[in-house]
């Protein structure tokens, strides 16, 4: 294992990258969901933007989020699990400016654990375990992600960044692809991904720790 600081644009060069400018969530009534007897997706659909949803048990659903909210583990081992390996466990679509926070949960069983879609999507993962997803742990396809104090392991690419990410104080190990992959113009992409962070422990990633 090695400790890594991430201040990169793709793989081509090293630059200092500014903060993510995450949008603050509105206050709303807390909601509790007990899986599998209740549907987390139904609670998400009915929640007010800015709501906090406390999750217990194992929720076997493919979650699609289009509003700002928080999903928080109510008990140790609270799990978001895809019923199929062909879809992401959590897809965040920023059709309008939103912040989604995933706190303390385990995310497993999908083609990817978490994917962001559209430039307005901003996601925070804190004290999250992302494991055993087919293609990857976190895909920042558009928008931004802040990944902190989390473990990403036994998946495809640990974190793939096509836009912006801050990756701090995580353990990223034992993945079948890269630990962190940031696209770059040097790789033939149209953009250089922006990735910053420090204090990450990385090792035994088959494609390399940083790509």
Q: pLDDT by residue (tens digit) across 92-127? A: 999 889 999 999 999 999 999 999 999 999 999 999
Element at 43 (helix H, strand E) = helix 40-46
Those residues whose C-beta lies under 8 Å from the C-beta of residue 57, and which sit 6 or more positions away, are 34, 35, 36, 37, 75, 78, 79
CB 93 within 8 A of CB 113: no
Cα 160 to Cα 16: distance, rounded to the nearest angstrom = 19
Per DSSP, 135 falls in state S
Strand partners, 197: 6
Cα 165 to Cα 168: distance, rounded to the nearest angstrom = 10
3-state SS, residue 45: helix
For the chain, 211 residues long, the average pLDDT of each consecutive 10-residue run is 59 34 54 98 97 98 98 97 97 94 98 96 98 98 97 98 97 98 89 95 97 92
Cα 18 to Cα 40: distance, rounded to the nearest angstrom = 34
């Amino acid at each position: 294992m090695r400790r890594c600081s991430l201040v990169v644009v793709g793989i081509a060069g090293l630059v200092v990258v500014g903060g993510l400018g995450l949008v603050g969530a509105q206050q709303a009534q807390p909601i509790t969901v007990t899986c599998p007897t209740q549907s987390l997706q139904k609670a998400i659909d009915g929640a007010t933007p800015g709501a906090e949803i406390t999750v217990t048990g194992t929720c076997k659903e493919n979650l699609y989020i289009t509003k700002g909210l928080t999903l928080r583990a109510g008990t140790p081992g609270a799990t978001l699990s895809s019923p199929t390996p062909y879809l992401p466990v959590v897809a965040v679509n920023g059709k309008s400016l939103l912040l989604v926070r995933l706190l303390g949960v385990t995310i497993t069983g999908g083609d990817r654990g978490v994917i962001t879609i559209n430039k307005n999507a901003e996601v925070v993962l804190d004290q999250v375990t992302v494991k055993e997803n087919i293609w990857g742990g976190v895909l920042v396809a558009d928008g931004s992600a802040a990944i902190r104090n989390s473990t990403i392991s036994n998946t495809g690419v640990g974190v793939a960044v096509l836009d912006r990410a801050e990756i701090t104080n995580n353990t990223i190990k034992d993945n079948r692809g890269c630990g962190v992959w940031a696209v770059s113009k040097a790789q033939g992409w149209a953009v250089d991904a922006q990735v910053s962070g420090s204090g990450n422990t990385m090792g035994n990633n088959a494609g390399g720790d940083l790509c």
